[in-house]
Structure 1
Amino acid sequence: MTAREVLLARGVAKSYGGVAALREGRITLREGEIHALVGENGAGKSTFVKVLCGITPSDAGEVTLDGARLSLANPREATAHGIGFVAQELSLFPDLSVRDNLFPLSPERRLGLVDRKALDRRAAPVLERLGLGVDPAGAVGDLDLADRQLLEIGRAMLSDPRVLVLDEPTSAQGRDSVERLVGVLRGLADDGMALLYISHFLEEVLSLADRVTVLRDGRTVLDDVARPEVDLDRLVVAMIGEQPTGEAARPAPAEMREADDRRLRLVDVEVPGRLHGVSLEVAPGEIVGVAGLQGAGHVDVLRAVCGQVRPSAGRVRLPGGRQPRSLRDALCHGVGLVPSDRKGVGLMLDRSAWENVAAARWLGIGRGGPWLRRSAERARAVEVLGSLGFRGDLDAPTQELSGGNQQKVVFAKWLETDPAVMVLDDPTRGVDIGARAEMHDVIRRLAARGRAVLLASSDLAELCELCDRVAVLQRGRIVAELGGADLEQLGLSRAMNAGFVAGVVS
């Protein structure tokens, strides 16, 4: 028997400044089902979600809930009608307690004071349903990322929604955290809730969703398809109109690896509480990955190379032999950095794409001369962004670009510095499959041009696809190194979790 329809959207359209972000959005959400909405960055997903959740009004189309037409003026009205929303970027206050984050606007009061016991009683069944054994009085900043994500969902659930919209809830989660979250969402659906699930991880979509809708260029191109009727190839073709480009040929850099002074080297690096005796080399033309569970130390390897942490013992040597003294020192001596948090530290969101591209070379490392030559710098930005397949307004504030285009701007600004070493921290986090393939091509081209590439990623498939070899860390130590035929997801996961692979024990 077909599940009962709860929310329907038909012909939804929205334009910004004459540019159509959404032309024809259609979707049907049903009781007890998880419905995935997928598409490339810029396909219209975020705009569609904003309309459904009352964040922005549509220009055309109709949204109904239980057969009654909705006209939402703001998110609070959406909540009142039973539509909950969990955004990709967490909106919790880390310095406040779990309780204060769950009830930020209308806490219950007794004799003029906040009735903490009453709030805790209201929160208890929601926290139990989510498997969150946290202290309501504890600070949110003390929770790990997985618990904070579940807490964000818990806050939405306190309004007892009929429909729950989740935008990229697993984009920054490790595998164990993803499995835990998936179990929670499946339980909510089994209890009759209608879930709209937006994700770039197509394998995740195929394992979780009951139905799938695909947007491309603001239009619904695959509408309300039952999961058994769709596979990965069909999703990819629907999203981008063609199969993604395959791996770019990259010659083996054997001759480049002979030049010792062009290698990136870490020798017995000690960082108290973080790294213990870490030794690693990356030759020109190599892509070397570092992997581990949260807090294992792999990200600290990147920070050491970039001069963000100073070793108490051992040494880090950039190509040419210099030891980085600070982030700026590293950047001025041939290191390019693509951070995982592109919005927080990777971009000036209120400035244009071309200004962001110019900033690293001209302002960051001082190679542009004493004066900013706007026309010349903009022309350079046009060239480098064009080589990355940038599709967006070069002069608009970067915050208005899609996630994929924002990441291309981050790549472009460091390509402009012509780095000898490129350090990449989750470089394709939160971008769609098309942009991901383009980013991979860029990374391979960097290696083919003789750059040493050091990559950390939460995506094991990405590490296996891109890297020549991967060093696995546990508790700040390298416990395994995989390459060649041994570099595959199962072995990598085993090494990260157990510290051994292919008979090599840490």
Structure 2
Amino acid sequence: MTSYGDILVAQGLFKSYGGVRALDGVGMPLRGGEVHALVGENGAGKSTLVRILSGTLAADEGVVRLAKDTRIATVSQELSLFSDLTVRENLFPYRPPRRFGLLDRGAMDRAARPVLAELGLDVDLNTEVGELPLADQQLTEIARALLRRPRLLILDEPTSALPAAAVDRLEGVLRTLTGRGIAVLYVTHFLEEVMRLAQRVTVLRDGRVALAGAHREDVDVPELVSAMLGGRPEQPVRRARTVVDLPPPVVLSGVSVPGRLADVTFTVRAGEVVGVAGLQGAGHLTALEVVCGRTAVSSGRGDIGGRGLPHSLRDAVRAGVAFVPSDRKRYGLMVDRAVWENTTSVSWLGLGRGGIAPSRTELVRRTAELTERLRLRGGPHDVVARLSGGNQQKVVFAKWLATEPKIVVLDDPTRGVDVGVRAEMHRIVGELAAGGAAVLIASTDLAELTEVCDRVLVFVRGRITEEVHGARLTDHALAVAMQQGASAAG
């Protein structure tokens, strides 16, 4: 491999927030022509380090040295696109090319198309970004970063919302970029990606370097997990679930949504965890939307919590539905408010539990009980925006647990969280089912479905083509069912 030298060197970085030390003497080099993976639990200090390296946050102590003429581009886990602007406008938000004082859309398109093609993103540049699927929005953000022609590219959980085919394309792009001498800092929770992509890996734990720039060939996944957690993660324990012998809380019968679902029928019984899986646009996520009252059906019938099909999310909540979305900041949280305000927003304000004017002390007490149950790092009065991504997701869980739901709908519930938080989330899912809730879950991580589900429904082009359960329920079997079903449908 050609040696391009160090693009960035960080040494002795310290950063504290209100007496809590987020970074404790962290350092690392980033070399041109290499993908350097950065991993660690939520709250380990990764986000703080990324912000310091990208220049958006000052360290309390330490130095960051950059090679001459180094341009840095960062793609954050939480998208920073303007949903009401077009793809073109989002790709050139600052200093767009002009001709005679006017925006030069031709120059913009000529610059953008090769980058979009390299990412395999086929979209109309005039489309508003808010109309794109989440995966295409994430690729748009990556394209915007590449258009800056950086010497250092920082990718924070870049594949958390991408289907497998898009991940493969991104990996090919990274190989091309490193071949040009670009340094890539790759922040991820998917350790398999680390082993495929990175030349080096650094692990942070509790704000300190637990593993420093190890060569990929010298470590394996168990060693990375041990470095992250200081031991082995708690593994979800499979159990024989007790399915409650009552009318199923979730029943869809012959449900259709034009262009999205066609004659879909399934049930989820109390005490059962059922997964839905499919390629992008297969209809599995639309099925979740129907259960949650976010999408109306054109034909068919259903029964959700004994009340028929809900006509809105409010109807669904009143029927006992809890909905944990994949985009927690957009749909799940009030990030500028305290944890207790978020966790009580549905149970009190939405359902009126606790009376017209419950005391703030009582609401905070209830929140403290939930956060302790979820092992959340943060107190009831902490502002949600200051929590790590994994702890923000726990706040979303706490908000819905407070409603004591009969039906729990989870859309990618562990997207962007570390293996420790993931295990805790899976523990909670098991507890919900054990308590008699019906759980319906979608995930971009097929291994997650095999770990927590009793059975998985595979969707292809709006129809259920297969149900996978028992000994056959493996991520490989799900992938085959999704791909073969799509090939057969095509």
Would you call these one fold, judging by a TM-score over 0.5? yes
Aligned to 2:183: 194
The equivalences for 1:349-498 within 5 A come to 349-498=335-484
Aligned to 2:64: 63
Structure 1 counterpart of 2:242, which letter? P
Structure 1 counterpart of 2:376, which letter? F
- Whether 1:110 and 2:111 are equivalent positions in the alignment is no
Partner secondary structure for residue 394 of structure 1: coil
Q: For residues 113 and 497 of structure 1, do their structure 2 counterparts lie closer, same or farther at Cα, with a shift above 3 Å needed?
A: same
Q: For residues 140 and 213 of structure 1, do their structure 2 counterparts lie closer, same or farther at Cα, with a shift above 3 Å needed?
A: same
Q: For residues 204 and 372 of structure 1, do their structure 2 counterparts lie closer, same or farther at Cα, with a shift above 3 Å needed?
A: same
Offset, 1:382: 0.8
Aligned to 2:90: 101
Aligned to 2:14: 13
1:391-424 deviations in Å (ceiling 9; x for gaps)? 1132121111111111111111211111111111
Q: For residues 249 and 148 of structure 1, do their structure 2 counterparts lie closer, same or farther at Cα, with a shift above 3 Å needed?
A: closer
Partner secondary structure for residue 161 of structure 2: coil
Which of 219, 227, 246 is the matching residue for 1:230? 219
Aligned to 2:298: 312
| Identical counterparts, % of pairs | 54
Offset, 1:275: 1.6
Offset, 1:121: 4.5
Partner secondary structure for residue 499 of structure 1: helix
1:342-393 deviations in Å (ceiling 9; x for gaps)? 1111111121111211111111111120103111111111112101111113
Aligned to 1:280: 266
Aligned to 1:293: 279
Offset, 1:487: 1.1
Aligned to 1:72: none
Inter-partner Cα distance in structure 2 for 1:8 and 1:244: 31
Aligned residues, how many?
A: 489
CA contact (8 A) 2:39 2:189 kept: yes
Structure 1 counterpart of 2:29, which letter? T
In structure 1, list runs of 5 or more residues that go unmatched.
Answer: 69-79
Structure 1 counterpart of 2:96, which letter? P
Offset, 1:13: 1.2
Inter-partner Cα distance in structure 1 for 2:125 and 2:311: 42
Offset, 1:448: 1.2
CA contact (8 A) 2:83 2:128 kept: yes
In structure 2, list runs of 5 or more residues that go unmatched.
Answer: none
1:469-491 deviations in Å (ceiling 9; x for gaps)? 00011121111110011111122
TM-score scaled to structure 1, two decimals?
0.91
Structure 2 counterpart of 1:442, which letter? I
- Whether 1:154 and 2:154 are equivalent positions in the alignment is no
Q: For residues 451 and 222 of structure 1, do their structure 2 counterparts lie closer, same or farther at Cα, with a shift above 3 Å needed?
A: same
Q: For residues 370 and 119 of structure 1, do their structure 2 counterparts lie closer, same or farther at Cα, with a shift above 3 Å needed?
A: closer
Q: For residues 217 and 499 of structure 1, do their structure 2 counterparts lie closer, same or farther at Cα, with a shift above 3 Å needed?
A: same
1:173-193 deviations in Å (ceiling 9; x for gaps)? 111111111111111112211
Aligned to 1:180: 169
Aligned to 1:250: 239
Deviates more, 1:360-369 or 1:463-472: 360-369
CA contact (8 A) 1:358 1:381 kept: yes
Aligned to 2:24: 23
1:264-319 deviations in Å (ceiling 9; x for gaps)? 21111122222211111111111000111111111111111112223232222124
Deviates more, 1:308-317 or 1:347-356: 308-317
CA contact (8 A) 1:244 1:437 kept: yes
TM-score scaled to structure 2, two decimals?
0.94
Deviates more, 1:218-227 or 1:333-342: 333-342
Inter-partner Cα distance in structure 2 for 1:354 and 1:111: 54
